[in-house]
């Protein structure tokens, strides 16, 4: 398993993967030193994340290899269908997966998403529009949703 640490506007991000694909992308809450030489199997992931943060990428084209239960993988796959700049609720996601009663399980699987940003769990909000739970912190969720918003806030000054 290869690892690399890259700087992003939201903190140092750790990429983990091998020839089978990216296994994890995690924003760190500690100050790791950025990796000087990115392992070849992680180069494309680092490059595409850089493009995303510079506003030049809306979709990722990476080989993914997350580890989880079959149910978690179904939820993570459904997250990939949420378009850039859009949001959905945990309830709607549960309906999409065919079981409205599974809302808590869907929320739990969403919270275990190992592929930060690429599998866009930040696009899932409460039914009332509130920013609910986010493993990376609500300030990061807000930043990501603002970054992806088709309507950019204009400054008056």
Marked catalytic residue, from 10, 12, 97, 121: 121
Return the ∠ at Cα 89 (arms to 86 and 94), rounded to 5°: 120
Q: Is 96 a catalytic residue?
A: no
The CA distance from 67 to 49, in Å, is 20
Cβ neighbours of residue 85 closer than 8 Å, sequence gap 6 or more: 58, 148, 149, 150
Residue 65 DSSP symbol: -
Q: With H, G, I as helix, E, B as strand and everything else as coil, classify residue 107.
A: helix
Q: What is d(CA 118, CA 126) in angstroms, rounded to the nearest whole number? A: 20
Annotated catalytic sites, by residue? 121
């Amino acid at each position: 398993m290869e690892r690399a640490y890259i700087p992003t506007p939201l903190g140092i991000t750790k990429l983990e993967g091998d020839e089978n694909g990216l296994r994890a992308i995690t924003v760190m809450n500690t100050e790791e030193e950025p990796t000087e030489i990115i392992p070849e199997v992680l180069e494309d992931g680092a490059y595409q994340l850089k493009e995303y943060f510079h506003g030049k990428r809306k979709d990722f084209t990476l080989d993914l290899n997350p580890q989880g239960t079959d149910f978690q993988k179904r939820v993570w796959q459904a997250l990939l269908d949420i378009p850039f700049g859009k949001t959905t609720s945990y309830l709607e996601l549960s309906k999409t997966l065919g079981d409205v009663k599974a809302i808590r399980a869907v929320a739990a699987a969403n919270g275990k998403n190992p592929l930060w940003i690429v599998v866009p769990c930040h696009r899932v909000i409460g039914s009332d529009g509130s920013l609910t739970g986010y493993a990376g912190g609500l300030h990061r969720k807000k930043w990501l949703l603002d970054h992806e918003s088709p309507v950019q806030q204009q400054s008056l000054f």
